[in-house]
Amino acid sequence: MIDIHTHVMPGIDDGSESMDMSLQMLAIAAESGVHTIVATPHCNIPDEYENYAGDEMMSLWRQLESAAAEAQIPVKLCRGMEIFATEALPELLTERRVWTINDTKYFLLEFSFGEDPDFCRYILRKASDLGFRPIIAHPERYFFVQDDPELAYEFCVSGYGLQVNKGSLMGRFGPGPKRTADLILDHGLCACIASDAHRPYERSTFMTDLRDYLEEEYGEAYMRLLLEENPARILSGRDLLGFEPIPFR
Ligand SMILES: [Fe+2]
C-alpha cells in the first residue's frame, strides 16, 4: 500500500512529537503493509503551522529519511505537504514555497471545516489553471460536504482527486464523516484513502484493518485502486483512474 497523507515529520505540527515517534510511526506503517509513505506536514495555516518549503524543511526531511534508513525500516519516504487553502495559495504554488506530492503536479489541499464552497471552487479552479492537480484532503470531514454531498460529485467530475481518511471510513470521527465517506465511495468519487496519521497508536499509520475492510465491503479491485494504483499514479504524476462517478439522485 501507499499512504499519501501522514504527519510523520517530527516536531513541526500536531503530528509526531519526536524523531523516535516518527520512526515508530514508520515502522508500524511498514509492518501493516505500507511500502511507500508521503510525509505531509501542515503548511500555510496562518499563525499556527506555516512550514513553508526551504532549507529548514528540507534538512528536517533528510534527517527523517536517514534515521529511517539507519533503523532499516522498509518504507520509502516521499515529500509532500497538507497545504491549507488561503488566498495566497496560487502564488505559493507558482513560487514553489510549498511542496507538491513527490514533486509532481499533484498537491494535497486542506480546507477550513466550515469553508464557503464558492471559495473552494475558486481556489481549485485557480490552482488547476496554473497546471497543478489538487487532491482534496478528507472531503468527508468538511461540514459543507456533509451538508451537501453533491459537492463531492462536483469536485470529482471537475477533475479533482478526493482523498478520504481511513478513520472516517472506519467510523472513528463519528456519524457525519462516516456517512459522507460511505457516500463518496459508493458513488465512485474517491481517488484514494490515506491514514492522515498523527500518532503511532491513535490516528495511526496502521493500514491492515482498512485494507481488510475495503476488500470485504467493496472487493479487491476497488481496494487496490484506492490503496495502491491511484496513489502510485499520484506519486508519478500520471492521470487518476476511477469508476464512472454516479450522480446523486
Ligand atoms: Fe492531515
> Per residue of the chain (249 residues), what is the pLDDT tens digit?
999 999 999 999 999 999 999 999 999 999 999 999 999 999 999 999 999 999 999 999 999 999 999 999 999 999 999 999 999 999 999 999 999 999 999 999 999 999 999 999 999 999 999 999 999 999 999 999 999 999 999 999 999 999 999 999 999 999 999 999 999 999 999 999 999 999 999 899 999 999 999 999 999 999 999 999 999 999 999 999 988 899 988
Alpha-carbon 4 to chain mean position: 5
- Distance of CA 239 from the midpoint of ligand 1 (Å): 23
Greatest CA separation for the chain: 53
pLDDT value at residue 215: 98
According to CATH, the topology of domain 2-235 is TIM Barrel (3.20.20)
Quote the DSSP letter at residue 13: S
pLDDT value at residue 243: 82
- Distance of CA 107 from the midpoint of ligand 1 (Å): 13
- Distance of CA 43 from the midpoint of ligand 1 (Å): 10
- Distance of CA 51 from the midpoint of ligand 1 (Å): 14
pLDDT value at residue 181: 98
- Distance of CA 111 from the midpoint of ligand 1 (Å): 11
- Distance of CA 164 from the midpoint of ligand 1 (Å): 11
Quote the DSSP letter at residue 226: I
Q: Output the pTM of the full model.
A: 0.97
Alpha-carbon distance of 169 to 163, in angstroms, equals 11
Which of 90-107 are b and which e, b meaning 16 or more Cβ less than 10 Å from the residue's Cβ? bebbeeebbbbbbebbbb
pLDDT value at residue 185: 97
Q: Where are the domains of the chain?
A: 2-235
